[in-house]
Structure 1
Amino acid sequence: MAHFMNSVLEGLAKHPDSILIRPALSRTPPLSWGSVSYTEYAQSLNKAAAYWQRTFRELGASENDVIGIWLTGELWTDLVHLFAISRAGFVPEVFSNLFAVPAGGVIVHDLLEDNKAKALVYDPRYATMVEQMNLTLPAFELIDPTTLIVGPNSPGPLPVVQELDVAVIFHTSGTTGGKPKPIPQTHRWIRALATVHWPGIWQGDYDNGPDVFNNLGSLAHAGSAMSIPTMVPYGACLVLTSRLDMSMEEFLSAVHDCGMNRLLQYGGWLSKLVRIARESPDTLKELQSLRQVAYAGSVMNPADEAWALANKIPITSLYASTECAPCLVSNLGSGDTYLRLIPGAQCKMIPVEMDSESQGDTIRQLYELFAPRSAPNCPHISVCNREDGFAPGDLFEEVGPGAYAFRGRRDDWIRCTAPGFCDAKGQEDNVMKTCSDVVNGCVVVGNNRPYPILIVELHPGSMSLEAASEDSKKLKEEILRRIKPYNDRLFSFERIVDPLAVVVMSPGSLPRNTEKNNVKRKATEEAYAGLLDDLYASTKL
């Protein structure tokens, strides 16, 4: 099988005069953007690949050895160095700014050892941390690839690879056993991403020039790092924004000045932009003008999603994971955001066996996505959590033939003491749908407890925490009034019906995922264990 970089090199040569990257040059108005053509990127890639190939071979590294690369994920040259290591014939193990924490150096050190890395290259901003790591392998600072000078015949040819050989190693954004888990991507996986899963997301207009996308988060995470193998073969362009949650000004500038015509956001960030559009006709007009607006990573605020659909924003929901790539997407223009398998994706939706209780004659059947070992997007065998493939652990409900609604992760279903599971994610979605004017975020906790407790963050514009404390009972009762129609449909052990089961906190109190901005349930349970112990001890609901 050909190395995945072959199609990248072919794409770079096919579109020499096209613009590949538009990096933001400022974070505050007046906004301005740089421009990197396919030819300029190819030249920088070639220089960096030759430089790293010579450097690592002098160390005794062989083809397909692992090389660690620690990036900020903010610079377009990060995408040069990352794929230059691949072009040089090695396997990059990618670390992001998430590792820039007090114990980050120790974690990076351990992961490099686990994957038998031969060297580490790092952004100069991490120099102090690298110096304190006591590495037994050589480490090199990243340099500006545009300044390198190399011979005309280097780097050499790409190595011969097998389809299940590891091509790139990313990491989970959460920790398991005190450190992130490596997620190796195979050559087969990257080819499937570029030829089936990425093209399968995008719908609508293709007749008026190339696609121009924004970056989804850090360039050191799979979602945006893979923009090179997914966009280059099609002549697309990447608008590299200055921040994850684009401001109104940056969004409008990206559209007007860079020609951005497709928007990809995490659900929380898109909700923020839609709320701006409610008050800004210019923002609404430009959102409506895009070929497609896709969101992933977290469920969008239901009220914002409904408003976007009603106001003709070409919105689609998307399901993807670092392990399995994008697998499901809603149909553009269908009037809903129910998910369907991407055409050509060799995945399945399989029934999930969970403890459940009937409500009348109805038992809600849930499904989970499954990638069999034969599917090109099935992750590396070291990641597979089943003998015959991989299931990400996310749950779906079939709401129509082949159409699914996301119902959270398995751990979004908390186990009440008796008699069964509570759909905590469903409760949270309903709270955000009915109470978004007073609630900024929420989480339902109480795993292995007698009943669930709702913790809410006040909306910054609603009232102060002091005012809420003075009239806490009325605020809680108002929230309970709004969620009552939903609660009335639940089993008795699932319901949140008493003010004592509602906790009000100030904005920003709940632990969140840094990039996706999701409230983390397990971390909340741990952070407020004492508060929960006191609540359960003092109340008998």
Structure 2
Amino acid sequence: MSTYLSHLTVLEHSASSYPDTPVFRVPRSDISTGQVHDWSSITYSQFKDDVEFTARYWRQILESDGVPEHSVIGLWLPGMTYQDVLHIYGLSRAGYVPQLFSIRLPNPDVVLELLKKAGSKALILDSQFQSSTASFPLPVHLAVKKQDMASFQYDLPPIRSTSNPDKAVFIFHTSGSTSGSPKLVPCNSRWLDAIVAKAKVTSTPISPCKQDVSVWMGSMCHIAQTFMLIGALQHGSCVIQPTKIGFSSEELVDMIHRCQLNRLNQFSTFLSIHLRNSRQNRKLLGYLQSLDQILISGLSLPQEDEDWAYKNGLNMKNLFGSTECGAMLLSMGGKGRDAPLLRPIPGTYYGFLPIDADTQIESGHKTSAQMLELVILSTSGDCPDASLRGNDGHFHTGDLFQEIMPGSYAFRGRNDDWIKSENSLRCDTKAIEDNIRATCGDLIQECIVVGTGRPSPALFVEPAPGVDHGKLKRDIIRKTRQFHSRRYLHEQITNPNLIVVVPSGSLPRTATKGNIRRKAVEEAYQAELDKIYASLQ
């Protein structure tokens, strides 16, 4: 009978193998300036003890609410601190199933709907959401720091690998909204076991003679950092908590100096900032060149940045993943021309299936090369829940690739109207466009939503004849306010500065059907978009 590993069995083994080794470095900052004056260490044994202390606390609190073991419990947290990790791992250790909400989903009505869909029995949340959840019809508790938790004596059951592949372990949510709400992404022990195996491969140390030190990649309420932490734990590595996700180049250098950072895991948008800075700062470039690995994920790096990074000897690898499956493809790395090409992580079972010619043209891919959709086969351990699969039983990602060399692929965009934002979360542009046409059809002739790699989307509008441009922007914001209020922050257009009014018929279109070309609009108006987003910072 098969047994399935989990984040808890990984922690148990690592705390035994590396008890006095630091697992986290946490910043201690000056209250007045915000400057980090040192980075404190938390060892593996302390982490395990803190998880169990947190588990006992919440087990007692939830039992007093009448919440039974194995219940789903909502967690609405930033996911960026050690304390957030303790809540996630502590709830799992206490025998519950965490349902993880991003703080980028600020609408309490949508959160309550998702809690009900998942059958959650309670919600633990950050203080910023306390007032908006006062009327929730289930127990609601504030997340608390460990030093503020009461000590409860409760005998936790021993951690064991489960033999039940269908046992629920987590509930994530898709990073973009469909029909006004994210979808549930239920995760079972079979899926988590596959995540553990893939994370181990992805996080294998480059230099076995020293401890790997990486940095937080994103919120623990999203899959990327959850995946990377599971990988780090298996190798006795250390993870630094930065002051923010888009940390400065100065903070990067400080982490290299004082925390011995040797492995930078970062979304491409944020890495590009360091690459641009290093063009004017040879010292920073030297630090980037000294890293054992720079692991990028999310959006593809701009070609100019990628070429410059390889030319200057940066040890880069590209990781391709999704909420539903975690990491799926990993580049070869190295110095050759094939360094950026992606391959499936060993132990997975994927298909690269041709899309038909009509779909290829409609998607804007004007090339004679065959486009292939990445499909996660049902036999692959990381194939997500049946509710997310297609009619054929497999999970169709919608992500398109070209096979450049046998078994090696280059990403070529998506087979739909979704784009990825600055922090690699997804946004359904067609849903926004359809809403604008439905609510503002008398005011506009045509519209297109852009914003790949940006903090939020922007709208280009060709107005109806005689419409006042300034009033048009205000009317669009007013008429679409309710629609956007239900969406993630990275999907919202709530600022009139993010609406660009252009002359009728001026937006670039396809020659055959006359559809507006999203990528061409982004390229043609890049300078104007740069100014708009810079003004909003």
TM > 0.5 fold call: yes
C-alpha displacement at 1:383, in angstroms? Answer: 2.0
SS of 2:38 mapped into structure 1: coil
1:157-204 CA distances to partner (integer Å, 9 max, x unpaired)? 458562122211111221111112121222222221222x22333467
Q: 1:445 to 1:310 in 2, by over 3 A?
A: farther
Distance in 1 of aligned mates of 2:406 and 2:175: 33
- Judged with a 3 Å threshold, the aligned counterparts in structure 2 of structure 1 residues 58 and 292 are, in CA distance, closer, same or farther, namely same
The one-letter code sitting in structure 2 at the alignment partner of 1:170 is F
Check 1:204–1:15 CA distance in 2 against 1; reply closer, same or farther (3 A cut): closer
In structure 1, what is the Cα distance between the partners aligned to 2:372 and 2:406?
A: 13
1:246–1:273 Cα contact (<8 Å) kept: no
- Asked if 1:304 is matched to 2:305, the reply is yes
CA distance in 1, matches of 2:406, 2:156: 51
- Kindly tell me: are residues 327 and 209 of structure 1, through their superposed partners in 2, closer, same or farther at Cα, counting changes over 3 Å? same
Structure 2 residue 391 is matched with structure 1 residue 390: no
Which deviations, in whole Å up to 9, do the C-alpha atoms of 1:76-124 show, x marking residues without a partner? 110001111100111000112112x3xx111111111111111111122
1:8 CA drift (Å): 2.1
The question of whether the paired residues in 2 share the 8 Å contact of 1:204 and 1:292 is answered with: no
Aligned: 1:505 with 2:528:
yes
Q: Give yes or no for contact 2:194–2:381 (8 Å, CA) kept in 1.
A: yes
Bigger shift: residues 278-287 or 339-348? 339-348
Instruction: For residue 263 of structure 1, report the CA deviation from its aligned partner.
Output: 0.9
Tell me whether 1:114 sits opposite 2:117 in the alignment.
yes
How far residue 48 of structure 1 moved from its aligned partner, in angstroms, is 0.9
Residue 90 (structure 2) pairs with residue 87 (structure 1) = no
> What amino acid is the match of 1:179?
S
Q: Check whether the contact 1:79–1:225 (CA below 8 A) recurs between aligned residues.
A: no
In the alignment, is the contact (CA less than 8 A) between 1:89 and 1:158 conserved in 2?
no
Check if 1:402 corresponds to 2:425: no
1:125 aligns with 2:131: no
Listed as ranges, the matches of 1:339-350 within 5 Å are: 339-350=342-353
TM-superposed deviation, 1:148 = 4.0
- The reply to whether residue 168 of structure 1 matches residue 191 of structure 2 is no
Query: CA–CA distance in 2 between the matches of 1:232 and 1:150?
Result: 27
The CA deviation at 1:10 is: 2.1
Call closer, same or farther: CA 1:109–1:164 in 2, change over 3 Å.
same
* Equivalent position to 1:25, from 3, 25, 28: 28
CA contact (8 A) 1:162 1:187 kept: yes
TM superposition shift of 1:74:
2.5
Q: Which runs of 5+ in 1 are unaligned?
A: 416-423, 433-438, 447-468, 474-479, 481-486, 518-541
Letter in 2 for 1:23: V
CA contact (8 A) 2:80 2:218 kept: no
**1:232 matched residue in structure 2:** 233
Distance 1:510 1:382, change over 3 A: farther
Describe how 1:308-327 pairs up with structure 2 within 5 A: 308-327=309-328
1:54 aligns with 2:60: yes
Amino acid at match of 1:188: R
Kept after mapping to 2: 8 A contact 1:8/1:228: no
Q: Hey, what does 1:353 align to over in structure 2?
A: 356
Cα shift readout 1:118-158 (whole Å, capped 9, x = no counterpart): 11111223211222xx2111111122224545466622345
Quote the offset at 1:221 in angstroms.
1.6
Equivalent residue, structure 1, for 2:272? 271
Tell me, yes or no, if the aligned pair for 1:66 and 1:92 is still in contact at 8 Å.
yes
Structure 1 residue 61, shift from structure 2 partner: 2.6
Question: What residue is the counterpart of 2:79 in the other structure?
Answer: 73
Alignment CA distance shift 1:79-1:327 (3 Å)? same
Give the Cα–Cα distance (whole angstroms) in 2 for the partners of residues 125 and 62 of structure 1.
27
Q: What secondary structure, in the 3-state scheme, does the structure 1 residue paired with 2:384 have?
A: coil
User: What is the CA distance between 1:374 and its match in structure 2?
Assistant: 1.6
Paired residue secondary structure (2:416): helix
Q: Is the 8 A contact 1:203 1:332 kept in 2?
A: no
Gap change, CA 1:510 and 1:348, over 3 Å in 2 = farther
Matched position secondary structure for 1:343: coil
What is the Cα deviation at residue 276 of structure 1? 0.8
Residues 344/279 of structure 1: CA separation in 2 closer, same or farther (3 Å cut): same
Aligned residue for 1:455? none
Give ranges in structure 2 of 5+ residues lacking alignment.
419-428, 431-447, 462-499
In structure 2, what is the equivalent of residue 379 of structure 1?
Answer: 384
Match of 1:367 in 2: 372
Q: Is the 8 A contact 2:56 2:154 kept in 1?
A: no
Secondary structure in structure 2 of the residue aligned to 1:393: strand
Give the conservation status (yes or no) of the 8 Å contact 2:71–2:97.
Answer: yes
Residue 20 of structure 1 aligns to a residue whose secondary structure is strand
Report the alpha carbon displacement of residue 505 of structure 1 after superposing the two structures with TM.
2.7
RMSD: 3.9
| Matches of 1:402 and 1:3, distance apart in 2 | 29
Asked if 1 retains the 8 angstrom alpha-carbon contact of 2:187 and 2:384, the reply is yes
404-413 vs 199-208, greater mean Cα deviation: 199-208
After superposition, the C-alpha distances for 1:262-284 in whole angstroms (9 at most, x for unaligned) are: 11111111111111111111211
Measured at CA, do residues 203 and 68 of structure 1 come closer, stay the same or move farther in structure 2, by a change above 3 Å?
Answer: closer
Q: What percent of counterpart residues are identical? A: 27
Distance 1:141 1:494, change over 3 A: closer
**Superposition deviation, residue 3 in structure 1:** 6.1
* Distance in structure 1 (CA, Å) of the matches to 2:34 and 2:299: 27
**Greater shift in the superposed pair: 319-328 or 200-209:** 200-209
- Answering whether residue 351 of structure 2 is matched by residue 328 of structure 1, we say no
Residue identity matched to 1:163? P
Distance 1:140 1:3, change over 3 A: farther
Q: Count residues with an aligned counterpart.
A: 453
Aligned counterparts of 1:54 and 1:118: Cα–Cα separation in 2: 15
CA 1:510–1:227 in 2, change beyond 3 Å: closer, same or farther? same
Distance 1:357 1:11, change over 3 A: closer
1:71 to 1:495, Cα distance in 2 relative to 1, 3 A:
closer
Which aligned pairs between 1:116-265 and structure 2 lie closer than 5 A?
116-131=119-134, 134-148=135-149, 150=151, 154-157=155-158, 162-195=164-197, 197-202=198-203, 205-265=206-266
Secondary structure class of the residue paired with 1:174: coil
* CA distance in structure 1 between the aligned counterparts of 2:128 and 2:73, rounded to whole angstroms: 19
User: Once the 2 structures are TM-superposed, how far is the Cα of residue 348 of structure 1 from its aligned partner?
Assistant: 2.3
Per the TM alignment, residue 62 of structure 1 is displaced from its structure 2 partner at its CA by: 2.7
Distance of 1:491 and 1:212 partners within structure 2: 52
Q: Is the alpha carbon distance of 1:247 and 1:357 closer, same or farther for their aligned partners in structure 2, counting shifts above 3 Å? A: closer
The letter of the residue matching 2:11 is V
Question: Contact 1:350/1:368 (CA < 8 Å) preserved in 2?
Answer: yes
In structure 2, the residue matched to 1:14 is: 17
In structure 1, the residue corresponding to 2:144 is in which secondary structure? coil
Deviation at 1:445, TM superposition (A): 8.3
Aligned partners of 2:458 and 2:267: how far apart in 1?
18
8 Å Cα contact 1:351/1:366 also seen in 2: yes
- Cα distance in 1 for partners of 2:395, 2:451 equals 27
Instruction: Write the letter of the residue equivalent to 2:77.
Output: L
Q: Secondary structure at the match of 2:40?
A: coil
Is 1:289–2:293 an aligned residue pair?
A: no
Q: Is the 8 A contact 1:3 1:161 kept in 2?
A: no
Check conservation: 2:74, 2:98, Cα contact below 8 A. Answer: yes
